[in-house]
């Protein structure tokens, strides 16, 4: 036969209510949180309205000139097509 185990009483522990304090969030002063940011906001070294010819300026200038030349060529082809159609009438 199987032996039955004796039941032992476990002592009852009284749970006391503990109060937990919430950690206060970082105080924000003028939008600055602290030194633990992954990036820092710095001022632009150059004003917005200053003119400076850069490599990007040259690339955009060449691109605009190329687009204008292609558009003029397409317009001349369209005008030749219209003249050819008018000549057939």
Residue-wise pLDDT tens digits, 20-64 = 666 655 555 565 555 666 777 777 777 778 888 899 999 999 999
Looking at residue 19, its pLDDT comes to 67
Query: How much is the pLDDT for 9?
Result: 73
Looking at residue 8, its pLDDT comes to: 72
Q: Give the helix/strand (H/E) hosting 67.
A: helix 55-88
- Rounded to whole angstroms, the Cα distance separating 84 from 48 reads 51
């Amino acid at each position: 036969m199987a032996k039955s185990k004796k039941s032992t009483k476990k002592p009852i522990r009284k749970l006391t209510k503990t109060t937990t304090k919430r950690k206060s969030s970082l105080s924000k002063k003028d939008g600055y949180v602290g030194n633990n940011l992954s990036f820092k906001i710095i001022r632009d070294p150059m004003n917005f309205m200053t003119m400076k010819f850069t490599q990007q300026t040259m690339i955009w200038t060449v691109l605009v000139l190329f687009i204008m030349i292609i558009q003029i060529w397409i317009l001349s082809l369209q005008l030749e097509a219209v003249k050819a159609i008018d000549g057939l009438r």
